[in-house]
Amino acid sequence: MQSITKKEKEQKLQKLKEECNKCKRCSLGATRNNIVFSDGNPDAKILLIGEAPGADEDKTGIPFVGRAGKLLTKLIEDSNMSRKDDFYICNTVKCRPPENRVPTDEEKQVCEKYLMEQINIVNPKVVVLCGATSAKSFLGSKLKISQIRGQWFKILNNIDATVIFHPSYLLRNHSEEPNSPRWLTKEDLKKIKTIALPK
Ligand code: SF4
């Protein structure tokens, strides 16, 4: 894609968000309080895709603001990166699935148009697939996150992509011992920084 300025990206994303605000293309549109479009820097080198909004996100309209989101922010900061400046953050679907269930394949497919546009506009250097739902959307539904986490892939138009554990999973796994899920996630974030933000 031809490179565009940050201001142009902001304008295009704002237009897409307005379209998304009115969207009722799947049943999730009937139960949401707010669409949860994105957070972070539209000009970021790293675009992180989570699963779906939860209750806190549905209330605020911002992705990753609950306990899991706070842990994600801490892990990013512990890796000497800035959530606000270095990341553009969104989800596979923009509306909260009732009872926090996993979005269906059909819901993800219907909502994919917004996600693809976001990736196209932000034009990141690296895509981070955060958690199994996000990873399966791009890499195939049969893969196990424990097998693909930390690996690197090419997705879409030759964009480098990698998989990390979802912070909700890390909230249930407190250990920071070597090879624990939190330790592995920190290692993954260090690698992401090296590739996306070389000195
Ligand atoms: S989840 Fe996506 S497709 Fe479904 S109503 Fe919300 S914005 Fe539209």
Q: In the predicted model, is pLDDT for residue 8 greater than 70? A: yes
Q: In the predicted model, is pLDDT for residue 143 greater than 90? A: no
Q: Coil, strand or helix: which one is 197?
A: coil
Ligand 1 pocket check for 95: Cβ under 6 Å: yes
pLDDT of residue 163: 97
Ligand 1 pocket check for 24: Cβ under 6 Å: yes
Q: Locate the domains of the chain by residue range.
A: 6-196
User: What's the chain's average pLDDT?
Assistant: 96
- What does the pLDDT look like over 103-115, one tens digit per residue? 999 999 999 999 9
- What does the pLDDT look like over 156-190, one tens digit per residue? 989 999 999 999 999 999 999 999 999 999 999 99
List the one residue out of 138, 166, 162, 170 whose CA is nearest residue 47.
162
Name the residue of 20, 21, 32, 95 to mutate for ligand 1: max ligand atoms within 8 A of Cβ: 95
Where does 6-196 sit in CATH, by number? 3.40.470.10
